[in-house]
């Protein structure tokens, strides 16, 4: 396996990781809201909730600061090192790319991320996490 293939594989892994982060943020909120309504105790886990609120806070702060997500920057750098100018035609890369990257003015993303962050903050108060306790996992 040559070095460009390793860079391409690393970029694909980063794209998958990026997709998992997006899913954690989006699906996490849906589960928190559904779990609050259905009485699921695990959605009140303070570690899960803290990780969730930090994840969307990072996205919102980056958007307001005009900073491109580091996962995107690293993935693009790896693809350039692999000699790629565009995404490969591999199935997983093609569809993950279409889910994550789309074109709109930057203010649209900032607005969407900010509104989503506000919904996450509201969910923090609507579906309160348990207090942190020793041994809480």
Q: What is the pLDDT of residue 136?
A: 59
Q: What is the pLDDT at residue 130?
A: 93
39-83 residue pLDDT tens: 999 999 999 999 999 999 999 999 999 888 899 889 889 989 998
Asked whether 57 and 117 are in contact (CB, 8 A), the reply is yes
24: pLDDT strictly greater than 90: yes
**How confident is the model at residue 98, as a pLDDT?**
73
Question: Residue 88: is its pLDDT beyond 70?
Answer: no
- Listed residue (124, 74, 73, 99) closest to 20, CA to CA: 99
pTM: 0.82
- Judged against a pLDDT cut of 80, whether residue 99 lies above it is answered with no
- pLDDT, residue 137, reads 61
Instruction: Give the mean pLDDT of 77-91.
Output: 72
């Amino acid at each position: 396996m040559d070095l460009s293939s390793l860079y391409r594989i690393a970029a694909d892994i980063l794209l998958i990781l990026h997709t998992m982060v997006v899913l954690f943020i989006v699906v996490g909120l849906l589960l928190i809201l559904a779990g609050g309504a259905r009485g699921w105790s695990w959605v009140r886990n303070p570690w899960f909730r803290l990780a969730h609120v930090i994840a969307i806070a990072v996205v919102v702060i980056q958007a307001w600061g005009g900073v491109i997500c580091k996962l995107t920057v690293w993935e693009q750098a790896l693809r350039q090192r692999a000699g790629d100018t565009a995404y490969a035609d591999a199935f997983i890369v093609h569809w993950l790319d279409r889910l994550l990257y789309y074109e709109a003015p930057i203010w649209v993303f900032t607005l969407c991320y900010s509104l989503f962050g506000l919904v996450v903050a509201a969910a923090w108060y609507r579906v309160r996490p348990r207090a942190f306790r020793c041994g809480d996992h």
